[in-house]
Chains A and B, each alone.
Chain A
Amino acid sequence: MTSEVLHNGYGAPLRRVTSLAPEAFRRAVIERTRAGERLVALFGRPLAQAGVRLLAVLGHDHGGTLAALATEVSEAYPALTPECPEAHWFEREIAEQWAVRPDGHPWLKPIRFHPPYRSGGAPPLGAAPAIGVTDFFRMAGEEVHEVAVGPVHAGIIEPGHFRFQCHGESVHHLEISLGYQHRGAERAFVAGPEKRAIHYAETLAGDTTIAHASAYCQALEALSHCRVPARAVALRGIALELERLANHTGDLGALANDVGFLPTASFCGRIRGDFLNMTALLCGNRFGRGLVRPGGVTCDLEPQRAEELGRRLERARRDVTGAVELLFETPSVMARFEETGRLTATQCIELGIVGPPARAAGLERDVRHDYPSGIFRFAHIPVSTADTGDVFARAFVRWLEIRRSLAFIGEQLRTLPEGPLRAALPPLVPEWLTVSLIEGWRGEVCHVAESDGEGRLATYKVVDASFHNWFGLAMALREQAISDFPLCNKSFNLSYCGHDL
């Protein structure tokens, strides 16, 4: 047996993950992704002796199973990227974090600009890289020019650097250089669980508090064989969908704003706040801080509160329907949305794109459907897809998902199970591995955790949807007018801190 079959939200003993020789590992990952599996995570962990162990998590979306493959490398190994493009960002991360060189990687550059976590050797990306200083792709030619934007942007948004290689108005390539938000979040989980960890999870990407907190808690619960009470499971699901509603509504408003259609921009900006206030009705905080905790949730939705939530949802449903229908019925808006920033299904498969951008290109990728955990094992949300892969499709998928989420919460409010809100978290089982996936509003949120012999976290890996999707935005910009960048960017709306960690 070469790989251990895993299920989302369950654990398995680490000893069952067989270690392959580097070349066999490489071939196995390449063949399996060619056969339709997807690279969910690929990361390193320092070995007690010299060297680094690489672990690949592959997802069989249609079968709903995950597989773990491992290998051990020292200073270098043959890169997967030339034959498996979706590994490209992961391999840059491995080179940066663990000072291991993926030989043959076509564009080996830092992704976060921090010193390697492992001392010794010759770090392929330098011992102390300076933020933003790297070999950017350049085009040569008489009328070629370069536009540099950021890290500080014009609006109230997070920092990142964008380099456009332009010929006139047309963008031939956009290079996105991040790392400005790097806070050392991911490696701070290691040796836990400790009391700050849930707050790291809640702030990995603050607009995705519920999804990341749920992924963290689900990982701990899998490693400790904790059974979360049914009522808590349902409340987590409601909070997750409220998070999706708020962000999707905000995005549709922001898309309207970027094409100068102010009515929907103004309405949706306000309705987004109504959804955030519904989360605050449940737990006191608009982003769901303090709600999801290992073993369950901290706040109940009593009958009276559930009724109030139902009333507010109905009001918001009417408001958002009016605002969004106006958007899609306006020809001048559609003229800007359609055929702008296209990403094809083939590109999405090659790059491992997840979430609404993948579904907008026709791919049925949704953790809630493919790897259901928690409430989604019992209540199914149909996958919303479109087929044009452009800004319109990404907007339309959000609108479909808004309607699905509203229906889902309505149903949950009618069938909320009785019982306790939280179970005590037992100690972690030593030497176990778990993969915890949650469909956040941006797409797949993946946490991978391993416990050591003492039941402490030996490895903690976080992969936000943005990690997969930033390069998708870069590809969508090719041959587009540079003036369409804000629109394309907003149609992905990726997280800087969720990437930089």
Chain B
Amino acid sequence: MIDVILARLRQGHRTIRYPGEAPTLPDRYRGRPALDPTKCPSGCEACLAKCPTDAITYTDGRLRLDLGRCLFCGECERACPEGAVGFTGDYRMAARTKAGLVVTGEEMRRVAALDERSRRLFGRSLRLRQVSAGGCNACEADTNVLGTVVFDLGRFGVQFVASPRHADGLLITGTVPRNMELALRKTYEAVPTPKIVIAVGACAITGGPYAGHAEVLNGADALVPVDVYVPGCPPHPMTILDGILGALGRI
């Protein structure tokens, strides 16, 4: 027993001070992209050719980057000769609609909170059932990590539960393969109404790298209505946490 206590003392207190203090992220972290239209007068489209998921488009003389498709690989930034495309260190990227995921400049929009009734119901206590449907285990791992002492999800009143019948909503990761269609539908139906759905990662929003494959349904909203989209490949745990808490109107 004494060994356990000594080990506990040596390991120390490791919970981050978020939301009181901003989290520290690695200097090379690729967060919310920023586009500078003034630096893209010619529309050379070098970035378009490099983007693996056609997340970046150039129409009517305007660059647009769809975070729902973006894999945050940084190929566009490396391809741009003018420095018009870049990635900031901002981890806050969730949105309530797919249209809200489209970046055209450097503006920063916070995820809108759910309606008042949902906030009243779930704002202080939210139980989620996680469903991985064609996720590669990266989104899953960085969702799971929210339960560690570092993030300590429980202190926000949010918890992952084992049964959909005990849940207030689903957190879905993955492309949603056809082979998961029935299981995801049944799990959604088993959650009591009212319920919310959070789609985490490029796969769950648009199919990610697998968009257009015959084997997948290109994301969660092919089957169920989605209330919150959290982009990334995978999103940083802070992006997921910000998406959940932002939707609950907690930050």
Contact = CB atoms under 8 A, between A and B. Distances in A.
Interface stretch (A11-19, A42-50, A178-186, A366-374): A178-186
A154 B162 contact: yes
Given A182-B177, A326-B7, A209 B216 contact: no
Interface stretch (B94-102, B108-116, B125-133): B125-133
Interface in A189-226: 195-196, 198-200, 203-207, 209
Interface of A: 112-114, 131, 151-152, 154-159, 179-185, 188, 195-196, 198-200, 203-207, 209, 263, 266-267, 269-270, 272-273, 277, 280-287, 289-290, 298-299, 319, 322-323, 326, 329, 495-497, 500
Given A179-B179, A329-B3, A199 B52 contact: yes
B210 interface: yes
Interface in B11-34: 11, 14, 26-30
Given A182-B179, A206-B139, A159 B133 contact: yes
Contact of B183 (A159, A272, A497): A159
A284 B89 CA distance: 10
A269 B28 contact: no
B142 interface: yes
Interface stretch (B39-47, B57-65, B70-78, B242-250): B70-78
Given A159-B183, A188-B213, 12 more contacts: A157-B140, A158-B135, A159-B131, A180-B133, A200-B210, A267-B11, A284-B27, A290-B73, A290-B74, A322-B10, A323-B7, A329-B3
B141 to A, nearest CB: 6
B122 interface: no
Contact of B149 (A269, A323, A329): A269
**Which interface class (under 10, 10 to 19, 20 to 34, 35 or more) fits B?**
35 or more
A86 B51 CA distance: 41
A273 B150 contact: yes
A299 B10 CA distance: 34
Given A203-B136, A319-B11, A322-B7, A266 B149 contact: yes
B56 to A, nearest CB: 12
Contacts of A282: 28
B117 to A, nearest CB: 28
A199 B71 contact: yes
A203 to B, nearest CB: 4
B229 interface: no
28 contacts: A112-B179, A131-B182, A151-B183, A152-B131, A159-B183, A180-B180, A181-B134, A181-B174, A181-B180, A183-B215, A184-B216, A188-B213, A198-B52, A199-B52, A199-B233, A203-B208, A206-B140, A263-B4, A266-B149, A267-B7, A270-B150, A284-B27, A285-B29, A285-B30, A286-B234, A319-B10, A329-B3, A497-B136
B187 interface: yes
B135 A497 contact: yes
B154 to A, nearest CB: 13
Given A283-B28, A289-B71, A204 B4 contact: no
Contacts of A131: 178-179, 182
Contacts of A299: 28
B141 A207 contact: yes
B155 interface: no
Contact of A286 (B14, B52, B236): B236
Contacts of B26: 277, 280-281, 284
Given A154-B162, A185-B210, A206 B11 contact: no
A183 B134 contact: yes
Contacts of B144: 155-156
Given A184-B216, A284-B28, A269 B148 contact: yes
Contacts of A182: 177, 179, 215
Given A151-B183, A270-B149, A263 B215 contact: no
Nearest to B139: A206
B149 A158 contact: no
B7 A263 contact: yes
Contacts of B4: 263, 326
Contacts of A185: 210
A284 B30 contact: yes
Contacts of A199: 52-53, 71, 73, 208-209, 233
A281 B3 CA distance: 33
B11 A322 contact: yes
Nearest to B163: A154
A200 B182 CA distance: 25
Contacts of A263: 4, 7-8
Contacts of B140: 156-158, 206
